[in-house]
Amino acid sequence: MSRATGVARVTSWRWAVGLVLACGILIAALATGDLALSAREVWGALAGTGDDFTATVVRTWRLPRALAAVAFGAALGASGAIFQSLTRNPLGSPDVVGFNTGAYTGVLIVLAVVPAPGFALLAGASLAGGLATAVIVLVLASRAGIGGRAFLLTGIAVAAVLGAFNTWLVYKTDTATATVGAVWAAGTLDSLGWEQAGPALAVLGVTAVVTAALAPKLRILELGDDLARALGMRVTLVRNACIVCAVVLTAVTTAVAGPIVFIALAAPHLARAVLPRSAPIFAAALTGGVLLSAADWVAAHAFAPTQIPVGAVTVTLGGAYLTLSILLQRR
């Protein structure tokens, strides 16, 4: 057996393990709660062969949150992989350059101006805020280009300004709006139903199809703009399309769950370590889905009967991961 065949087989096994792990966490999320269910009961509820009450618990109460955790994690992982590829920098994720902060700014503005806004308005405001932030960062760092260090520094500066503005908005609004804003800021999937998860999953599905079509072109962009142009690629158009897809993936997640951090930053790193020869976007999406679904299970059940925001879990895991990475690099 050649070395290439052996590497391909190991990679295939790792993909299989990742998919099984994602499905296992999904089943655990559906089975765990005040009403503990077996895997057979969960399957019966999903297949429509179980009793009505169990079907309601699984399909109406638990399934939206469980699917959203996997989908949102995958969206954040893919978004992080896109930005790290475009910037050619391991820190080039929407967390760092402030795009999710801008999406959160859009949500806060709507919450402060419109009483009881619907999901469509919040999602549109989140998308507008994320895209506006992307435009601002790109314009300010236009001389250095998206692959330059100035892009990251500009993104960090814009994120800091927006973070201060978000804090001011929370303090200037009434108590009810400030409470909603604080919950969003923590990042949570609690009480998520099909009314919020359904439209978000539909938008993410369409964006995922476009992102998958752009993935091969993104790999060519990693080789350099000159080579990409020599191969007939419209570099600016492809890069802008990738940025829009990455911002949409982050903004839709932020609109529903708030600015969940570290998944977009850590998932591509872990994917490169575990699946080094795989397509980076798809590997990062799988890793992000596993990370966020596992973090949401911990947030919902590890401290029962109290639930904590999933953002608190991802921040803790992200800090531990970065610390471990620094220690390993020093060695």
Per residue in 34-53, pLDDT (tens digit) is: 888 888 888 888 888 878 88
- Please give the average per-residue pLDDT across 298-308, as a whole number: 84
Contact 238, 214 (CB under 8 A): yes
Q: Is the dihedral of CA 101, 102, 107, 108 positive or negative?
A: positive
- Which one, of 194, 155, 233, lies nearest residue 68 by Cα? 194
- How much is the pLDDT for 67? 94
CATH number, residue 208: 1.10.3470.10
CA distance 53 to 67: 20
SS (H, E, C) 219-285: HHHCCCHHHHHHCCCCHHHHHHHHHHHHHHHHHHHHHHHCCCCCHHHHHHHHHHHHCCCCCHHHHHH
Tens of pLDDT, residue by residue over 236-266, are: 888 889 988 998 898 888 888 888 888 988 8
Whole-angstrom Cα distance, residue 180 to residue 174? 10
Q: Which residue has the tokens 């802008």?
A: 240
- Chain position carrying tokens 């052996």: 6
Mean pLDDT, rounded, of the chain: 84
Instruction: Decide if 220 contacts 227 (C-beta within 8 A).
Output: yes
- CA end-to-end span of the chain, whole Å? 34
- Which tokens is 172 given? 């200037």
Provide the residue range defining the domain that includes 83: 3-330
Q: Are 104 and 259 contacting, i.e. CB atoms less than 8 angstroms apart?
A: yes
Tokens at residue 100, please?
């999710």
Give the CA-trace dihedral at 132, 138, 142, 147, to 10 degrees.
-170
**φ, ψ for residue 119 (rounded to 5)?**
-65, -40
Rounded average pLDDT over 113-119: 78
Neighbours of 178 (CB within 10 A): 17
Instruction: Give the tens place of pLDDT for each residue, 19-32.
Output: 899 899 999 999 99
Number of domains in the chain: 1
